[in-house]
Amino acid sequence: MKKIIAVFIITISLFTVLPFTKTYAENLEVSAQSAALIDCRTGQILYEKNADQKMFPASITKILTAIIALENSNLNESATAGNDILGTDGNKIFIQPGEILSVKDLLYSLLLSSANDAAVVIADHEGGSTDEFAKMMNKKAADIGATNTHFTNPNGLHDDNHYTTARDMALIANYAMKNETFRKIVNTQKYVVNPTNKFDEERILYTENKLIKNSRYHYKGADGVKTGYTKKARHTLVASASKNGHRLISVIMGDEGNKMWEDSTNLLNYGFSNYRVVTISKKDQTVGTMNLKNLKIPLVTNKNVLASMPLDKNTITKKISLNDDISLPIQAGTALGKLKYYADDMYLGEADLITNNSYQRNWLGRVKQINAEISNTSDGSNKKLKVFVTVSVLLVIYIIMHTIKFCHRKKYIFKKTNRR
């Protein structure tokens, strides 16, 4: 449980609202059954439609397959195809059992041509089998935060137990797009796989993403990521685009035909037209104080907070809440509460509130700041305490010295008397 101890509103002066064409989310036309739009820098979901509904992903599954391979293998590693690629359905580059390909060639085949057989070879190479690789996929998805995802294969071929959500795919794609090699691959229009030990000719691969290649659906700034289709999943598309360093990712699931390109374009346009990323709080910024016994402890933010801010809003509400279980001693860096930011009812982000100092009780039971002089008391009692302690110490020293002197004098008189 936490107590709200302060709520206050500040006017953001970090940016000037520029003219723009505003499109409200409720007016967006998205024909897909499920959709989401995420800001890559902040991780905020800017638009959602049935974003938590479980859907069949089809080949956008391969985004997760690729990032696992990139994080566990070198691009120049060789992988040998097993017999389990025989009978692989759907898109493929016709890999033969015993064929040796580099991980790099397999990844380009996977993400450009959506080769299902390449996915199987990657799974065998990374996990030993497709079943074991599926376990790796589900663990990775959970680590990313995609908790409504369960995959049973590396390519997205239909299985009733192979599902995800638009929100989860946005998280997975956002994670993958932070990998430089992944970004390079999904933004490639053409790639050549050289002849192998089992295939005498070059395999020329072309991207299936109409947003990045020269087509009627080309989108300026588009730089990824993956298409998908099965009869049960219908059309799926994860699309990425950047403008002036601002990257958005849209997720479309359960769409029809070319509608997925139009829906993705509409989502990206909406995001770029209505949001910009601003820094709403900086690390080590003091935002308030906490009263603890005789001290006022400064509350400091533990990180920079970026937010996707609607362009038509210029006020932010800060809500500070303190933990109920705060007790002494307190070590520097301890989280004492949270600071959450809102634009009206829209959640923007949060930071932990910490203290940069350590505190404990002294021998008189008062709260003492350990690593810096206490100067922010309410009544100056610490100065009085110091004076009291100093006088007390001097008095004790005086009494001890006087006692010693008295004892020596008494001893001297006693010896003199005995001599007589």
Residue 396 phi/psi, 5° resolution? Answer: -60, -45
Q: Which residue has the higher pLDDT, 158 or 346?
A: 158
Given this model, what pLDDT does residue 81 score? 97
Amino acid at 337: G
Residue 367: pLDDT over 70: no
Residue 105: pLDDT over 70: yes
What span, in angstroms and rounded, lies between the C-alpha atoms of 237 and 1? 41
Q: Of 4-18, 79-93, 155-169, 347-361, which gets the smallest average pLDDT?
A: 4-18
Given this model, what pLDDT does residue 5 score? 43
**Which residue from 211, 126, 115, 102 is spatially nearest to 157, judged by alpha carbons?**
115
Q: Of 22-36, 94-108, 114-128, which gets the smallest average pLDDT?
A: 22-36
Residue 371: pLDDT over 90: no
Mean pLDDT of 375-384: 46
Chain center to CA of 415: 86
What span, in angstroms and rounded, lies between the C-alpha atoms of 150 and 54? 10
Given this model, what pLDDT does residue 20 score? 35
Q: What is the pLDDT of residues 206-233, one digit of tens each?
A: 999 999 999 999 999 999 999 999 999 9
Q: Which residue has the higher pLDDT, 173 or 19?
A: 173
Q: What is the pLDDT of residues 271-321, one digit of tens each?
A: 999 998 988 889 998 988 888 776 788 999 999 888 998 888 878 888 989
Q: pLDDT band at 404, cuts 50/70/90?
A: confident
Which active-site residues does the annotation give? 59, 62, 114
Classify burial at 285, counting beta carbons within 10 Å of its beta carbon; exposed 0-12, middle 13-18, buried 19 or more.
middle
Contact (Cβ atoms closer than 8 angstroms) between residue 294 and residue 262: no
Residue 386: pLDDT over 80: no
Average per-residue pLDDT for the chain? 86
Contact (Cβ atoms closer than 8 angstroms) between residue 64 and residue 119: no
**Which residue from 398, 55, 390, 16 is spatially nearest to 237, judged by alpha carbons?**
55
